[in-house]
Amino acid sequence: MTCCEGWTSCNGFSLLILVILGVVINCIPLGMSLVEGDSASPNPISCYEWWFPGIIGAGVMAIPATTMSLASRKRACCNNKTGMFLSSLLSVITIIGAVYCMLVSLQALAEGPLICNSQANSTVSCEFSLRNLSNFQPESFDLQWFFKKSCVSPTDSKNSNNSDIINKWSVPSSNSEEDRHRIFHFSVFLSLLLVGILELLFGLSQILIGFLGCLCGGVSRRRNRVV
Asked if the structure places residue 205 within a domain, the reply is yes
pLDDT at res. 33: 65
Count of structural domains, the chain:
1
Angle in degrees, CA 185, 52, 67, rounded to 5: 120
Q: Are 90 and 66 in contact (CB under 8 A)?
A: no
Q: Enumerate residues 6+ apart whose C-beta is below 8 A from 79.
A: 5, 72, 219, 220, 221, 222
Asked if the structure places residue 175 within a domain, the reply is yes
CA 48 to chain centre: 11
Which residues of the chain fall short of a pLDDT of 70?
1-4, 33-44, 73-80, 117-140, 153-174, 216-227
pLDDT at res. 35: 67
Question: What are the tens digits of pLDDT across the range 113-147?
Answer: 888 765 555 555 566 666 666 666 666 677 777 77
pTM, entire model: 0.80
Closest CA relative to residue 143, chosen from 113, 165, 121: 113
Asked if the structure places residue 221 within a domain, the reply is no
pLDDT at res. 93: 96
pLDDT at res. 36: 59
CA 113 to chain centre: 16
pLDDT at res. 24: 96
Residue 23 sits in which domain range?
3-121+135-150+162-216
Please give the single-letter amino acid code of residue 51.
W
Asked if the structure places residue 227 within a domain, the reply is no
Asked if the structure places residue 129 within a domain, the reply is no
